[in-house]
Structure formats: C-alpha cells, structure tokens
A and B are shown apart, each in its own frame.
Chain A
C-alpha cells in the first residue's frame, strides 16, 4: 500500500532526524555539567598520576571535538559502549533495566486507563451531579500532588503498617520468581497510576464533553438511539482521537517519570541507571539510557499516531495526499 508506505517512510525520516538532534543536544548538555567522569573512579588518597590515568582511560583528557567524533562514530555503529564506572556493556544493562521499567510503565498505564476512562466519562455525562463534580475535584487534586509523596504515603500505609507489600527493592532473583517480582511492583504501579489517571480523567472528561455537545450525537439521538448506545457507538470513537494522542504523550512521560518512582522504591530500572549515571558523569550509561528512551518515546508517538489513523478515517485519507 503506497499511502501507508510513504507515511511510514516519512515517519522514519522524522524519527532519524529527531534521534540525531537528541544525540547532539545530549552530548553538549552532559559535558556542560561541571565535574569529570574520571572522578567516579578515584577516591581520597589517589595521587595526581592516578587521576590523569583515569582521565585517559575514560577519554575526558581529549578535546570536546575529539570526544564528539568518537561519540558519533560509535553511535553510527550502533555501539553504545561500555560504562566508565562499572565496565559493563551499556546495551545489555539497559535490557535488564527495561525488564523492570517497561512492565512497571505498562501496568501503571493499563491501570490508569482502567480508572480514567469510566471516571472521565461519568464526570462529563454527570457533570451536574455531586459525584461528577467530586471526580473533577479529586482529579485536580491528584495532578497537584507530587508523585514521590504518594509513593511515600503508600509505603507507610501498605508496606510499613499493614505489611501487605514490600516497601521497596526488587527481589534478588528478579523475574525468575514472578510472584515476588510482581508484588514488588504493586505499590510503584499504583503510585504512577494515581498520578497518571488524575490528568487522564480530565482529558477524557473534556473530550467527552466536546462530543456531548456535538451535532452528530444530537442527530443520533434524534434518529431514536438511546443515550448510552449513541455515546458508545459514536461518542467514544470520536472522543478517543484526541485522548489517544494525550495517552501517547502520557505514556512517554511516564516512562521517563519512572525515575522518581524508581528512586522512592529503590527499583533497579532505567531511571535509577540514568540518575546514577548523571551523578557519576558516566557518559556512556547516560547517553545509552537517553538514546534508548528517546527511541521508545518516538516509537510510542508513532504508535499513537498510527492508532489515531486506524480509528479516524479522515486522518487516514489525509495521509494519502501530498506530504505536508
């Protein structure tokens, strides 16, 4: 199908340009931070020769342009390199971290949608009932509350006091013990889902409100459709178009927002790798994490775009025309 093909090619080109820009920005920002990656390798007592040897080892003794050439050439070979500090290859390590961050994000995301869709629709349809307003107020509150605070609160209540779930950490055997791994993720998942659904509820509510006031819904009802039936058959499909693009953005930001939650719960995910990498100026780790997460974010955006096209024929048709 040529229309789909040209669309995919265009998206791919955008993807590549985005990655190149992201990589360059990343390179510069990282090196603007004061400090030196070699510092993570030495301790008090090291003499100047040892520090210089460490700088040579990590390449921080090179000029910025030399470092950039190195960085770009290895990136072109899809080589994310080896951590300065742990000496572990970056890509396999990211793979291990994703085994925590991706399930965490997806479960939180699924839960957030399961909460937000019904509540958002109810808040719109029953806007003038007390519970409709209550949902709106509570969701506004949910947006205002910082995610780490919710995490700490959940730990205090459900882990420390009620002993229902572990307070943090990931089981040493990882997913080899699925039950333990799953229970370790329960509180982090709920934490993210609460924050995420709070903002989603508001989007679903306003998208539904738009639909409620629309002509086609009025027409459908005039033609004799009952309200719930009209809402489900026509309303939800239309409302889902803007909601999906918001969901795409939310999913991407959750992936990165997991940094805070992983910290609160001491989870060895992508976020904690990023944070430690920044503290230690471990450029290969930071670059690797940001590079892979940029890819993931762009991929999510792409999938959201695709989903919108499948739902909305108008968008589908438009893609067949000349490129914008």
Chain B
C-alpha cells in the first residue's frame, strides 16, 4: 500500500525553480521576522502546546502512535523531504536529487554541514540506516509497505545516497517524508533521540509532558521561540480548561465541538480552521452479504443524510465528502452527488437488490467520540428504509483484533487519519475487503506513472469508481481546528498527517 504523490516526480528545472521560490519565501519570511524581532515577540519564549495525543514511546517504527508525528516530525527529526503544511512535498535534508530515465535510480545529494543533536555530522550512512529501520522486519511503521519498491541503498560517498528501486515509484520522495533521519550510532530510541531538527529533547514525563529545547547547532532557520512543551491531557474538557486558564497557549486539534463557543466569542483567543485528512467512515465488510451487493451499499449511502450528521457533530465546521479523497489532494473530485441523500431511490435500490423488506446488521462501533453518536444517527436514518442497525460497542484495541485483523464484522465505524489513503482500496486484503480489479490496477499504474499528470488522471479514475461502487460510506471530513491564545501566532493550520511544526510559532512579549 504505497502512498501516492504529485509533483515530486517533476523535472529538475521545475524543482530548482521551486527551490528558488522557496528561498525567496524564506528570505521574505526572515526579513519579516527580523523586523518583528525587536518589538513583537519573545525569541526565547516557551510555547506550551496542549494535546490529547501523547506518544506511546519516541520511536515511530516501534508503535509510538500518531502523537509522535505531532511532537517530533520536523521539530526533532527531519527527513530527506517533508510534507509541508500546504500539502506540498519539500526537500529538507536532500539538497538535490536526480532520477534516472527508467525511474529506477534516485540519487540524492545531502545538505552540507548538518549536525545531529549529539554533535556528529550527517552522512549518507545515517540515511541508509534510517531507511532500513523503517523497512526492517521489526518495523511497526504503517508506511513500511510504501517503501517496498526499494531494492537497495548505496552510499558512494558521505554526501550521496543512491536508492535503487525494483519498480517505478512516483511517490518515493513523498514516502521518504515519513522516514526520520537518525544518527546511525544512536541507541535507546524509544526513550531518547538523535535527530537533526531545530529542537532537541529536553525532558519527557510519561503521562504528562514532553519538553523540547532549541538546538543551537541547527543547520537551517532558527526557531522563533526558545522552548516547546507539549502537555498531554486525557480529557478534552481538561485540555480546554488548560487553555482557558493560560496553562497552555495552543490546542493542536480540538475534538470537542461543543467547547468551541467559549473560545469563539472570546477576544483572548483565536479559532483557526484548517484542513484535515481525517475521514469518518461507515466501512462495510464488502466480502459478506448483503454488502457484497453494490446496490445495497448504494442504497445505504443514499439513505443517510450526511449533512445532518455533520451539523449535529460539528455545527458549521467540517466538509462533506463523496469518497476517500479530501479536497487537499490533487486527485480530488467532488463526488458528493454520486449517491446523494435520497430516501426514495434508496428504497428502490433495496427492492432491486431483493431486500424490499429490509435486513438487519451490526455496526462494530469504537467506544470513543464521535463513533457512538454516529452509530445512533445511522440507526435512525437506516430505519427509514427498513434496515435495522444493531450497535456493538468495542474498544480501539478490540477493533484491531476483530475488525482489522480477523475481518470478523459486518460493518464498522472508523476514523481514517492517514493522508493519501485511497491506496487502501487497491488492496483486496484490507479489512473492508473491497475488491475491484480495475481499481487495483489503476492504483498500481498510478504509482508507476512517469508524470504527476498521469498519476493524477489514474487516481481520479480510481476515485470515481470507488464512489460509484459505494465501496464504503464516507460520512464526512473532520475539520482541523486549532485554538490559541491571541498572543501566539505562526503555528501550522492544517493537520496533514497529524504534524505540528513548532519552529515558526511566535509568542508576543
């Protein structure tokens, strides 16, 4: 299941042009920052970031959870590339790269004079070590599969890395943005770190906080603050209270819509809505009856008023989607009309499928918000077409055993956080068991594309087919809402891949 990308297979010229534009942007940014420095913000400020996602450990190949991306991606560790807040893939530790004509050899030149936090210089051996950590047998990285085309890594000299592929992979630079570059002599990475990022780990108190401090030997642009402390909460209410009382400056991702009013109507706070990649799905087990019948799936899609659900859960926030692809992806097409809300046609489709008297099925529902509410809503909606829904509440842990691994379910609710995860529909062994050879082929072809246009065309087609097939019921796209104290600016707005770059955050004096 490789991730898929746009732009990164572009020619060298256009990349250099982008690099120049990026440089110009950095210079302008630096100038702006320079002029602001004296009066506006405290360059040594401590930024307190409140979050619900504590990393389970500090190693993203050892099951650390999404919290580690938030705290460490591009703060502590950098990759050859990064997925910027805009959704673009930008070079970071890769100064430059060349692709052979057959698309099977990538030659990367590393940024010079990059140092790890331990003081050792970055070399090509560290890059090889880091990529092999992700592809190793012990790796628990969810991105391991996307790096499968890598056949070998060579390090002809300290500044050059050559990656040989077994098949074309247009998303390689995108996929490499998930690979942290770690010093190859580092040990105990579940509790310590040795990265190249603008911050180094100062202190980690499990269950409570993770403190980062500015790394003075950083090769790139110096952060506009001194320290960053992630404070972790288990309850959304406790997190909101912490912001209200000034214990934290920012909430990375508000998950309790009801609480927004207290910040929106308050001049002390800023509520910013960005774009997320988190989708709420009613996923059927497409292997089992009646969900192996496309008419039944379409009928269920038409019977549910997604807009009403979104309004009930998120008020005026969030976006309706008609398939797995959110509007931030290049291969987005508006497919919300494909099986739009239409109870009468839903009934007709059920009749055609031979279920005029309805049927009953069970939704395995994770026990945390918003799943139970969504399940009850679906129960009400589907009752209108004579379909009876039983709700079986399970824990997140059980979900993995029962649904994800054993495929022992009829339907389930799940939030899918991953960026560019339409590729899951190209894997017939995935938990939802959607199997359309055309889609499998299109997704494979897209990855082997030579141009991003070609890739985009193929994925748009795949996207249209899964929507036509109503492979799953895509209920809505979550909003990404960051709330901060008025005095704090410069934080990333979008929640792509749950990252949170802290380097640009400024706190007023």
Chain-A contact segment, one of B133-141, B326-334, B337-345, B449-457: B133-141
Question: What is the distance, in angstroms, from B499's C-beta to the closest C-beta of chain A?
Answer: 15
Q: Does B395 contact A (CB under 8 A)?
A: yes
Determine the chain B residues whose CB is within 8 A of the CB of A139 once the complex forms. none
Q: Kindly state whether residue A249 has any CB partner on chain B within 8 Å.
A: no
Interface size classification for chain B: 35 or more
Which of B1, B63, B209, B429 has the most A CB atoms < 10 Å from its CB? B63
Stretch at the interface among B11-19, B304-312, B401-409: B401-409
Q: What residue of chain A has the Cβ atom nearest to residue B145's Cβ?
A: A47
Task: Tell me if A323 is interfacial: C-beta within 8 Å of chain B.
Answer: no
Closest Cβ of chain A: how far from B404's Cβ, in Å?
Answer: 7
Does residue B166 face the partner (Cβ distance < 8 Å to A)?
A: no
Bound-state Cα–Cα, A168 to B395, Å: 26
Which residues of the partner chain A approach B416 to less than 8 Å between Cβ atoms?
Answer: 44
Rounded to whole Å, the gap between the CB of A14 and the closest CB of chain B is: 33
- The distance in angstroms between the C-alpha atoms of A34 and B229, with both chains bound, is 36
Taking CB atoms and an 8 Å cut-off, the chain B residues in 393-416 that contact chain A are 394-402, 404-405, 414, 416
Q: Which B residues touch A268, using CB under 8 A? A: 205-208
Could you tell me if A34 and B238 are in contact, using CB atoms closer than 8 angstroms?
Answer: no
Sorting the interface of chain A by its residue count into under 10, 10 to 19, 20 to 34 or 35 or more gives 35 or more
B190–A280 CB distance below 8 A: no
> A148: nearest residue on chain B (CB-CB)?
B235
Counting CB contacts under 8 A, is B353 at the interface? no
Chain A, 190-219, contact with B by CB distance < 8 Å: what is the 0/1 string? 000000000000000000000000000000
Residue of A nearest to B209 (CB): A172
Closest 4 CB pairs of A and B: A41-B63, A268-B207, A45-B142, A167-B241
How far is A34 from B137 in the complex, measured between Cα atoms in Å? 27
A172 near B231: Cβ-Cβ < 8 Å: yes
Q: A residues within 8 A CB of B59?
A: 87
- Cα–Cα, bound, A67→B400 (Å): 21
Complexed CA–CA distance, A172 and B227 (Å) = 12
Pick the interface stretch among B94-102, B193-201, B242-250, B475-483. B242-250
Instruction: Say yes or no: is A276 at the interface (Cβ < 8 Å to chain B).
Output: yes
- Residues in B with CB closer than 8 Å to A35 are 395, 397-398, 400-401
Given contacts A35-B401, A159-B241, A266-B238, contact A172 B140 (CB under 8 A): no
Known: A50-B139, A87-B191, A172-B209. A40 touches B63 (CB 8 A): yes
With a cutoff of 8 Å between Cβ atoms, the chain A residues found around residue B231 in the complex are 169, 172
Residue in B closest to A166 when the chains form the complex, CB atoms: B247
Complexed CA–CA distance, A41 and B59 (Å): 11
Identify the B interface with A (CB < 8 A): 1, 56-57, 59, 62-63, 65-66, 137-140, 142-145, 190-191, 203, 205-209, 211, 229, 231-235, 237-239, 241-242, 244-245, 247, 394-402, 404-405, 414, 416-418, 421, 424, 429
Q: Which of A51-59, A102-110, A123-131, A221-229 contacts its partner? A: A51-59
A240 CB within 8 Å of chain B: no
Given A35-B397, A169-B208, A276-B207, 10 other A-B residues pairs in contact with their CB atoms under 8 A:
A40-B63, A44-B142, A51-B400, A53-B138, A85-B56, A160-B245, A168-B241, A172-B209, A174-B205, A264-B238
Indicate whether A63 reaches chain B with its CB closer than 8 angstroms: no
Task: State which residues 78-98 of A face B: CB under 8 Å.
Answer: 85-88, 93, 96-97
In the bound complex, do residue A46 and residue B142 qualify as a contact, i.e. CB atoms below 8 Å apart? yes
Cα distance A263–B234 in the bound complex, in angstroms: 7
Taken together as a complex, chains A and B put the C-alpha atoms of A41 and B65 apart, in Å, by: 8
Within 8 Å CB of B208, what residues of A? Answer: 169-170, 172, 266-268
Which residues of B are found within 8 Å of A97, using beta-carbon distances? 207
* Bound Cα distance A234, B483 (Å): 62
Q: Encode contact with B along A147-180: 1 for CB under 8 Å, 0 otherwise.
A: 0000010010001100100111110111000000
- Say if the beta carbon of A39 comes within 8 Å of chain B: yes
Give chain A residues whose Cβ lies under 8 Å from the Cβ of B418. 44-45
Q: Compute how far the CA of A272 lies from the CA of B208 in the bound complex, rounded to whole angstroms.
A: 10
Task: Name which residue of chain B comes closest to A162, CB basis.
Answer: B245
26 contacts between A and B (CB under 8 A): A35-B395, A36-B397, A39-B400, A40-B63, A41-B62, A42-B63, A45-B142, A47-B145, A53-B138, A57-B138, A85-B57, A86-B56, A86-B206, A87-B62, A88-B57, A88-B206, A152-B237, A155-B238, A168-B233, A168-B235, A168-B247, A170-B205, A172-B209, A174-B205, A269-B207, A279-B396
CA distance A22 to B42 in the complex (A): 54
Tell me, in angstroms, the Cα distance from A265 to B245 when the chains sit together: 14
Which residues from A are CB-within-8-Å of B206? 86, 88, 93, 96, 268, 273
